[in-house]
C-alpha cells in the first residue's frame, strides 16, 4: 500500500459547482418570497445548489449520521465527568436507538452508523460491523506519549476515507458527522490550540460532560503539557494526529476530506469534529466549502477552529452533550432549505410577464 500523502487532496478536491451557484442566484431572484428574506434557509439553499450541482435543489432524502467512537488515554487524568474507558456506553445507547442522537435521527429520517475506532472494551461487546475497523483499544496518554503509532494513524485515516466512499456509493446525499468519546475534547483542544497558535487556557472548555472547576484545571494542564509535544510536529498533519490526536480524530479527518472528493456535503458536530475539520483545511483549502457546522457547542476550541475555517454554526441552542446531537438538530433546517429551494413559486411579476408575452 502506498504511503499517505495529504498533498494529493489539494488537487483532488474541487470547490462546489460555481456555475450552479450562479444559476441558483438567478433562479431565486424570480421566486417568492423575495430573495434573502429566508435568512439561513436561503444561505443553505445556495450551498446545496452548488454542492449538488443542481438548480432547482434536490430534496435531501437519504441523510446518514456517522459517529466515530473512541476512548482517549488522557481521560485517566480525570479531565472528564465520565469515567475513563466508558465511551462504549454511548455506543451501545446509540445502537439501541436510545440516545438523543439516535432518537432524533430516527425522527428526521436519517440512518445511523457507529464506527468503533478505539473503544476501550472487549470487541465482543459490540456487533462485528461496528468493531471491524478498530485500530486499537484506547489511545495513548497524549500529555506524555503519542496517541497512536504512525501505522495506526494511517489505518484510521484510511478507514475514514473508506467509510465516506461506502456512504457515497450507497447514495447518501448528506452526511452528519459526530463522535462518541471520553477525553476527545481534550485531544481536540490540543490540536486547535496548536494550529491556531494559542494557549491552553484559551481553548479549554467544560466538554460535553460538564466538568467542575477542578477538572477544568486538570484538563487545562493536560492540554498545556500535550501542546509542548504538538508544537514540534505542526508541519505534518498526520504526525500531529499521531502525536496528540487519536484514532477517531484521524478517521474523521479522512472522512471529511474523502467526502469532499466524492462531492458529498457534511454537517459537522462539536469541537472534535471542528478539530478534524481544521486539520482537513490545512490539507486541502477547498474542502471546507463542502461542510457546514451544525451548532455552537459552547466550547471555546470549537469557536476558535470554526473561525479559522470560516464556518458559522447554523444553530445555538445551548446543547453541550456532544455525540452528534447538535449536527442532527440542524438536519431539519437543511432539509427545509432543500424542500423550499426545490419548489418555491415564481414571483407574481414574473408570472404576469410570462402571460403578457404569450398574449
**Is 11 inside a domain boundary?**
no
C-alpha cell at 174: 448528506
**Is 6 inside a domain boundary?**
no
Q: Residue 197 has what pLDDT?
A: 95
Q: Does 208 score more than 80 pLDDT? A: no
Domain identity same for 352 and 244: no
For 266-311, what is each residue's pLDDT tens digit?
999 999 999 999 999 999 999 999 999 999 998 999 999 999 999 9
Q: What's the CA gap between 189 and 219, in Å, rounded?
A: 9
**Is 77 inside a domain boundary?**
yes
Q: What's the CA gap between 61 and 84, in Å, rounded?
A: 38
Domain identity same for 33 and 175: no
Domain tally, the chain = 2
Q: Residue 166 has what pLDDT?
A: 98
223 pLDDT band, cuts 50/70/90, is very high
Domain identity same for 34 and 172: no
Q: What is the mean pLDDT of residues 241-252?
A: 98
Q: Which domain holds residue 35?
A: 17-57+341-358
Q: Residue 115 has what pLDDT?
A: 98
**Is 86 inside a domain boundary?**
yes
Distances (CA, A) of 251 to 104, 117, 119, 210: 24, 8, 14, 25
Q: What's the CA gap between 338 and 150, in Å, rounded?
A: 41
The lowest-confidence range among 175-189, 206-220, 226-240, 309-323 is 206-220
Domain identity same for 79 and 27: no
Q: What is the mean pLDDT of residues 59-82?
A: 95
Within 10 A of 204 (CB to CB), how many other CB atoms are there?
Answer: 27
**Is 4 inside a domain boundary?**
no
Residues marked active site are found at: 323
Q: What is the mean pLDDT of residues 251-265?
A: 98
Domain identity same for 87 and 159: yes
CATH of the domain at 307: 3.40.50.10210
Domain identity same for 68 and 201: yes
Domain identity same for 178 and 213: yes
Displacement of CA 154 from its chain's centroid (Å) = 19
**Is 186 inside a domain boundary?**
yes
Kindly state the percentage of the chain with pLDDT values over 90: 85
**Is 271 inside a domain boundary?**
yes
Domain identity same for 205 and 256: yes
**Is 3 inside a domain boundary?**
no
Amino acid at each position: 500500500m502506498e504511503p499517505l500523502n495529504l498533498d494529493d487532496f489539494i488537487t483532488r478536491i474541487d470547490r462546489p459547482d460555481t456555475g450552479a451557484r450562479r444559476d441558483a442566484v438567478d433562479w431565486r431572484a424570480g421566486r417568492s418570497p423575495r430573495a434573502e428574506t429566508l435568512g439561513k434557509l436561503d444561505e443553505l439553499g445556495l450551498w446545496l445548489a452548488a454542492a449538488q450541482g443542481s438548480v432547482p435543489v434536490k430534496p435531501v432524502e437519504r441523510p446518514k449520521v456517522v459517529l466515530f467512537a473512541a476512548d482517549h488515554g488522557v481521560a485517566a487524568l480525570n479531565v472528564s465527568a465520565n469515567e475513563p474507558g466508558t465511551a462504549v456506553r454511548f455506543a451501545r445507547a446509540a445502537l439501541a436507538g436510545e440516545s438523543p442522537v439516535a432518537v432524533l435521527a430516527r425522527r428526521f429520517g436519517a440512518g445511523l452508523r457507529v464506527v468503533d475506532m478505539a473503544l476501550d472494551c472487549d470487541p465482543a461487546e459490540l456487533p462485528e460491523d461496528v468493531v471491524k475497523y478498530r485500530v486499537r483499544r484506547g489511545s495513548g496518554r497524549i500529555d506524555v506519549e503519542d496517541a497512536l503509532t504512525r501505522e495506526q494513524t494511517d489505518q484510521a485515516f484510511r478507514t475514514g476515507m473508506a467509510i465516506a466512499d461506502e456512504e457515497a456509493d450507497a447514495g447518501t446525499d448528506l452526511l452528519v458527522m459526530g463522535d462518541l468519546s471520553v477525553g476527545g475534547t481534550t485531544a481536540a483542544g490540543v490540536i486547535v490550540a496548536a494550529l491556531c497558535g494559542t494557549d491552553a487556557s484559551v481553548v479549554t472548555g467544560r466538554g460535553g460532560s460538564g466538568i467542575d472547576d477542578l477538572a477544568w484545571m486538570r484538563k487545562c494542564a493536560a492540554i498545556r503539557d500535550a501542546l509542548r509535544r504538538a508544537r514540534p510536529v505542526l508541519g505534518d498533519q498526520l504526525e500531529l494526529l499521531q502525536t496528540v490526536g487519536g484514532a477517531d480524530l484521524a478517521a474523521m479527518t479522512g472522512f471529511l476530506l474523502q467526502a469532499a472528493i466524492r462531492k458529498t456535503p457534511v454537517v459537522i458536530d462539536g469541537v472534535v469534529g471542528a478539530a478534524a475539520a481544521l486539520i482537513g483545511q490545512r490539507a486541502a483549502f477547498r474542502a471546507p466549502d463542502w461542510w457546514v457546522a451544525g451548532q455552537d457547542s459552547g466550547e471555546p476550541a470549537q469557536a476558535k477552529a470554526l473561525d479559522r475555517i470560516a464556518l458559522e454554526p447554523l444553530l445555538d441552542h445551548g446543547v453541550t452533550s456532544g455525540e452528534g446531537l447538535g449536527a442532527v438538530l440542524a438536519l431539519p433546517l437543511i432539509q427545509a432549505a432543500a424542500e423550499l429551494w426545490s419548489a418555491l413559486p415564481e414571483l407574481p411579476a414574473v408570472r404576469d410577464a410570462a402571460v403578457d408575452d404569450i398574449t
